[in-house]
Structure 1
Amino acid sequence: MITTRDIAERLGVSVSTVGRALADDPRISEETKFKVRQAASEMGYVGNRAARMMRGASSNVVALVIPDIRNSFYSTIAHELSKNMEAEGFQLMLAETDDDRMVELGHLRELSATRVAGVIIVPTARPHSDSVKLLRTVPHLQLLRRHPSLGSQWFGVDDHEALRQATAHLVTEGHTRIAYMGGPEELPTGAERLRGFRSALREGGLPEDSGRTELGPPSSVDHGRQAMRRLLEGPDAPTALVLGSIQLTRGVLEELSEQDVKVPGELSVIGFGDEPGFSWWGPGLTTIGLPIQEMATGCALWLMRRLKTSPGNDGPYTSVSPGSLILRGSTAPPEGQSSS
């Protein structure tokens, strides 16, 4: 590894001169700075960021802490955030929790130890008290999910309205046996999406408890498949299904294809999120689109502004973006019935 001593020996100057030149110290002439930087580049010198941070320098790393990188929402938003951060001279680091609060705590401890500049986090359902304490020491904001213990800076989706509109579409088509599959109510997103589903049933003149629900781990494709099998069993199987998770949607589509269920003839389906394959699955999946680019840009701009201001200026901030119902071919009136 090339060191500042190697550069100093090549140029015939002191190690302290090299260090000051690389740090853009005003005591060093522009000519010397140019020679040092040129030699450093030619020799493949890489600065020791850890050493600089020990001397009080700040990190240029922003962490994105998410439940599941396989979820296209999180991978896409990571891509968008990375581009936005890079434009401002920051690098994005990913940490995956698998919705385990102890894994989440471990990541936050490591990030704190490396003096990460900021954190964007999709929190677990019940963050550890030590996670709460650690996040108080670093600029951070919550994405998609919001936990009251982690502060009042949050960028999310209007989950209630998105699911209400999707379910209302099925009610308008004439469905009365509508099922919902989503995450558990202990997650704020899960609770809001379930509330939106039930609101649409009530507004459509159906009992709130008339719709069957399957709640479980939102990042599990396998749970989606198993829950779909359960919903298809028995004489009271639903004629329509609305989903509240991308991974559950993937599991459902796999199971429906395997069982050769006719969509929308036997079952109307509204998915969640809009992965590339959803548009050409079967008749084309009607689904709830998510404002990924809008959220990523908003998160990046807020955090960059926060990092450039004095500590303690973190006033409450909430940004709620609407979802959108993307109509394709996977919904229709129940067999033998025309829509009103």
Structure 2
Amino acid sequence: MSVPTIATVAELAGVSTATVSRALQRPDKVQPETRRRVLEAVAATGFVPNSQARNLRSRATRTVILLVRDISNPFYLEIYKGVEEAAMRAGYKVLMGDARDDDERITHYVDMVRARHADGLILMVGRFPEALKTELSRLPPIVIALETFPELVLPTVSIDNIAAARQAVEHLLELGHRRIAHITGPLPERLAVDRLAGYRSGLAAAGITADEALIVEGDFSLDAGRKAVRRLNETGTSFTALFAASDQMAFGAISELRACGLSVPGDVSVVGFDDIVLADAFVPPLTTIHQPRFDIGRQAMARMIGLLGKEPAAANLVMETRLVVRGSTAPVRQHPHPNPRTKE
């Protein structure tokens, strides 16, 4: 049987040999559908580019990409430190990529690893492109950190978002609050869905049916917190406490509550989620759910090192969270203001 060549791949994919070369070496310069046809032809023919054949064993870059939702979010800094420490000890370096909730950007970084510009990818994004789900057998080494994709069987380091969110709500209930608003993450992403489920579960355990008017969708950003409080205000929805699915949204919510003339925690108690570095320095210091971000990063990189070393797959790891009580929560007032608009 003759050895497949680049011309063989080009003929099967219905493209030129130059397009095949670009799809393999510069995948970001090729349309996704064309790239898909080329990769399918490569798989069908068993074609291996000469340079890859020569260097298949020695071409490791010793580089791993940490791909995050939003590179400007300080949440990821501690995770990066954990990844970088484990990587440095093993002789790897780490690059950080910015997904921006964009399928093309996510696919670009996956293709970078496929093209051997990096050895592996640690994913911290809320979505996985549908086009890539059709190519699961051809995915490069990937570890998932703090996200959940049930359809993907990949090494994962995560937390129990449902239990953590329930603990946040239980804290507010213990302080006497019953009208508790919730700012979710972007639905229907699994992380946001699970934290919403924990919110509902905490209320249900106290015999309280969740009021849908108290639930506002956000996107984990500072501005989403501000907009959520404005929406609650505009709809006349009363609440004495608020649980935000991220610290940044909690900060935005507190800022908007103050703009409405309300005090935190005097009029409204606020709980966040993440315990980023600013949480303790904020005024008032933010009560929040602590995620062990450094250890999460370190464990994610440890699994990547094992994956690259062809070691037996490590079991998925669920890290523990804890509630950190600070100054943004307090017992409910006996006569609370029913809505920010009534506070003069």
Give SS of 1:255's match: helix
Query: Does 2:285 match 1:284?
Result: yes
The match for 1:193 is: 195
The match for 1:36 is: none
Structure 1: unaligned runs, 5 residues or longer: 1-50
Deviation at 1:123, TM superposition (A): 3.4
Query: Does 2:230 match 1:224?
Result: no
Kindly report the root-mean-square deviation, in angstroms, between the aligned alpha carbons of the 2 structures.
2.4
CA distance in 1, matches of 2:128, 2:276: 29
Deviation at 1:96, TM superposition (A): 0.9
The match for 2:101 is: 99
The match for 1:334 is: 332
Moved over 4 A (4+): 51-54
- Percent identity, aligned pairs only, is 30
**Aligned residues of 1:182 and 1:248 also touching (Cα < 8 A):** no
**Given the two structures, how large is their TM-score scaled by the length of structure 2?**
0.76
Cα offsets for 1:145-166 (capped at 9, x unmatched): 1113332321111110111011
Give SS of 2:306's match: helix
Deviates more, 1:279-288 or 1:237-246: 279-288
Query: Does 2:115 match 1:117?
Result: no
The match for 1:28 is: none
Partner letter of residue 140 of structure 2?
A: V
The match for 1:307 is: 308
The match for 2:156 is: 154
**Given the two structures, how large is their TM-score scaled by the length of structure 1?**
0.76
**Aligned residues of 1:180 and 1:211 also touching (Cα < 8 A):** no
The match for 1:319 is: 317
Query: Does 2:277 match 1:272?
Result: no
**Aligned residues of 1:60 and 1:116 also touching (Cα < 8 A):** yes
Select 2:85's aligned residue among 83, 86, 101.
Answer: 83
Partner letter of residue 274 of structure 1?
A: D
Give SS of 1:287's match: strand
CA distance in 2, matches of 1:80, 1:260: 40
**Aligned residues of 2:158 and 2:319 also touching (Cα < 8 A):** yes
Cα offsets for 1:268-324 (capped at 9, x unmatched): 1011222333223233211111111221121122221222226xx447x31111221
The match for 2:294 is: 293
Deviates more, 1:177-186 or 1:120-129: 120-129
Give SS of 2:272's match: strand
**Aligned residues of 1:101 and 1:124 also touching (Cα < 8 A):** no
Structure 2: unaligned runs, 5 residues or longer: 1-50, 336-344
1:116 and 1:175, CA in 2 relative to 1: closer, same or farther beyond 3 A?
A: same
**Aligned residues of 1:232 and 1:238 also touching (Cα < 8 A):** no
Aligned residues: 284
**Aligned residues of 2:175 and 2:330 also touching (Cα < 8 A):** yes
CA distance in 1, matches of 2:137, 2:108: 12
Cα offsets for 1:252-272 (capped at 9, x unmatched): 233234444211111010112
**Aligned residues of 1:160 and 1:195 also touching (Cα < 8 A):** yes
- Based on CA coordinates, which of the two structures has the bigger radius of gyration? 1
1:297 and 1:185, CA in 2 relative to 1: closer, same or farther beyond 3 A?
A: same
